[in-house]
Amino acid sequence: MKKWWIIPIVFGVGVFAIGAIGRQDNAAVSAKTAVIEAKTVEQTVSCNGVIEAGELTSVTTEMASVVDEVTVQEGQSVKAGDTLFTIDKKATRQLHQSGDRMTDAMQLATMPTAVVAPTDGIVVSVEITQGATFEKGTPCITIAPRDALQVRVMIREKLLPSLEVGQTVKISGAGFDKENYNGCLTEISSNAGSGFDTDGSVVEGVVTLDEGESDDSLRLGLTAKVKVIVSRVEEGLVLPYGAVMEKDGESYVYLLEDGVASYTPITPLTEFPDGVLVSEQTLVGRTLILEPEVVTQDGMPIRSGNE
């Protein structure tokens, strides 16, 4: 008879244990998590600016000439070798047959039929018209070379302590083809300008585009947003602001370890736009609880709620 009543009791204990395990799993609270990874992080400050010509190239000829046709207009992009205007050779020969413009016959014979752009760029001004006569060395057309375009930026007074010449810059704009263009902060004015905003005076600066960065979408006068990289950390650990907690002057996070929340103190170094840079390299590869507000105590059962 003992065998008959022992079996149900053992079976009942087994059912109770299974039920307890099931209740413990159900008691785990769901929270979003992420594996902590090291990455290159940058701290930036932002300024607004305008695309402008860094230098100007004047197109002239070696002899007085008469214009046949002007083939470009102000604001037009040109490539090196593009025709800017053509010369009326017959009228030009007549021009040099008398008076102080008399020219050697050989020079007249070799004068070009067309004047071309000396470089890629943007036509800034056109000083000639069809049928007009211009003298030797007189600027006919002015071009802003594309490889010398720059951004004139307005720097808010409070940002000046973070900035210095030589810092790397990212340039963007609503009308630009690429998301970002690379450049360098090459000038900061020694005087405050006439501009003023709610944060104080503003100072002008110049950002030069890196070689090969310019393209046809960078038009003179377009507005640009400039982000100056003031610090850069290789293999940095940046934890999202929402995952970082603070109590009694100590910063901490919760890690998910073996199905439970693990209280972990951290040492914040500095703030970045997307989170807090910390010093603890041992956190790499561990699972961070992104919603620490659901954790009520250390060791609390947590399950990842990413799915």
Residue 10: band (very low, low, confident or very high) from pLDDT cuts 50, 70, 90 = very low
Cβ-contact 279, 245 below 8 angstroms: no
Ranking 19-28, 91-100, 148-157 by mean pLDDT, the lowest is: 19-28
Tokens found for residue 289:
């609880």
Tokens found for residue 286:
């561990």
DSSP state of 284: T
pLDDT of residue 62: 86
pLDDT of residue 11: 36
Calpha distance 224→50 (Å, rounded): 6
Could you report the per-residue pLDDT of 172-207, keeping only the tens digit for each? 999 999 999 999 999 999 888 655 555 678 999 999
- Average pLDDT for residues 127-143, to the nearest whole number? 94
Give the per-residue SS3 of the chain: CHHHHHHHHHHHHHHHHHHHHHHHHHHCEEECEEECCCEEEEEEEEEEEEEEECCCEEECCCCCEEEEEECCCCCCEECCCCEEEEECHHHHHHHCCCHHHCCCHHHHHHCCCEEECCCCEEEEEECCCCCCEECCCCCCEEEEEHHHEEEEEEEEHHHHHHCCCCCEEEEECCCCCCCCEEEEEEEEEEEEEEEEECCEEEEEEEEEECCCCCCCCCCCCCEEEEEEEEEEEEEEEEECHHHCEEECCEEEEEEEECCEEEEEECCEEEEECCEEEECCHHHCCCEEECCHHHCCCCCCEEEECCC
Q: Is the pLDDT of residue 120 over 90?
A: yes
Residue 20: band (very low, low, confident or very high) from pLDDT cuts 50, 70, 90 = very low
What domains lie within the chain, and their CATH numbers?
Answer: 27-40+235-304 (2.40.420.20), 43-53+147-234 (2.40.30.170), 61-138 (2.40.50.100)
Q: Is the pLDDT of residue 24 over 80?
A: no
Calpha distance 155→141 (Å, rounded): 33
Residue 111: band (very low, low, confident or very high) from pLDDT cuts 50, 70, 90 = confident
Average pLDDT of the residues of the chain: 87
Residue 16: band (very low, low, confident or very high) from pLDDT cuts 50, 70, 90 = very low
pLDDT of residue 197: 56
Q: In the chain, what percentage of residues exceed pLDDT 70?
A: 88
Residue 21: band (very low, low, confident or very high) from pLDDT cuts 50, 70, 90 = very low
Q: Is the pLDDT of residue 289 over 90?
A: yes
Residue 171 Cα distances to 42, 119, 120, 176, angstroms: 15, 23, 21, 10
Residue 79: band (very low, low, confident or very high) from pLDDT cuts 50, 70, 90 = very high
Ranking 99-113, 227-241, 267-281 by mean pLDDT, the lowest is: 99-113
